[in-house]
């Protein structure tokens, strides 16, 4: 059984996969957790899922939080007695990926690209990832053609709350009307409806620049919030990053 770990700036997602498919998925906030913290969490999750530590015999890690990456690696080594595959520049070279800045690109974006192009080989793919940052990663098979990055939905709302004296932090709920009737409604209207326009524009302009038909995939914990965008997407797949990590592990290890 394969343990897949995707550490983002806000959350860490753990997934279990075997030959039959996805077995379990767990999520915890990204903080300065220690090796022992991760071990305690995982033992509890495995027990609740009626599994055993011995069921897990391989692991792959993507982390965009360098200062916490080693704790995850040590946790896997200590608890499961396996050496995890950790995404990074050397792995990209083994995958024969064509990247403009391999030392800069986030491993989660690489996983997104691999998952998308594995599903749609020979086709231009745009992955819209609604995370701490909003990212659009455009790829064609082994080539990542480019990335666009903007603040994520939660990041935008928190920025307003943090940097303005009278604006509250509001729930991420899409209002039916653009015309805000109170402060909460006004922020929801501006940010959420604004992001609908932002994503549509970026996807449209990417297609124009490529002069090609594209498959557009959405992922990330907030991908389900902006429902008016769903007609723009060929697929909404919350597990896309995990799936990309699984594909990478299979290509290099299996």
Catalytic residues, by residue number, are: 108
Enclosing H/E stretch for 157: helix 153-163
Sign of CA dihedral 19, 90, 33, 54: positive
- In angstroms, the CA 236 to CA 227 distance is 11
Q: How far is CA 83 from CA 67, 80, 86, 139, in A?
A: 19, 9, 9, 30
Nearest residue to 192 (alpha-carbon basis) of 167, 162, 228 = 228
Evaluate whether 99 touches 105 at the Cβ level (below 8 Å).
Answer: yes
User: Is 117 in a helix, a strand, or coil?
Assistant: helix
Main-chain dihedrals φ then ψ at residue 117, nearest 5 degrees: -75, -25
């Amino acid at each position: 059984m394969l343990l897949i770990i995707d550490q983002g700036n806000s959350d860490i997602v753990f997934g279990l996969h075997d030959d039959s498919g996805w077995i379990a998925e767990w999520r915890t906030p990204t903080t300065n957790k220690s090796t022992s913290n991760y071990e305690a969490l995982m033992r509890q999750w495995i027990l609740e899922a009626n599994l055993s530590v011995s069921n897990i015999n391989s692991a792959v890690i993507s982390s965009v939080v360098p200062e916490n990456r080693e704790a995850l690696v040590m946790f896997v080594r200590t608890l499961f007695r396996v050496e995890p595959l950790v995404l990074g520049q050397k792995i990209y070279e083994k995958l024969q990926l064509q990247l403009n800045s391999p030392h800069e690109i986030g491993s989660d974006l690489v996983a997104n690209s691999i998952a998308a192009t594995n599903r749609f080989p020979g086709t231009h793919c745009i992955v819209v990832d609604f995370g701490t940052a909003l990212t659009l990663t455009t790829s064609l098979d082994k080539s990542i053609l480019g990335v666009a990055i903007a603040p994520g939905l939660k990041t935008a709302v928190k920025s307003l709350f943090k940097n303005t004296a009278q604006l509250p932090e509001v729930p991420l709920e899409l209002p039916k009307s653009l015309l805000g009737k109170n402060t909460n409604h006004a922020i929801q209207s501006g940010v959420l409806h604004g992001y609908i326009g932002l994503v549509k524009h970026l996807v449209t302009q990417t297609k124009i620049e490529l002069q090609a038909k594209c498959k557009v995939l959405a992922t990330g914990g907030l991908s389900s919030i902006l429902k008016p965008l769903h007609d723009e997407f060929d697929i909404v797949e919350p597990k896309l990053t995990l799936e990309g990590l699984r594909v990478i592990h299979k290509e290099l290890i299996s």
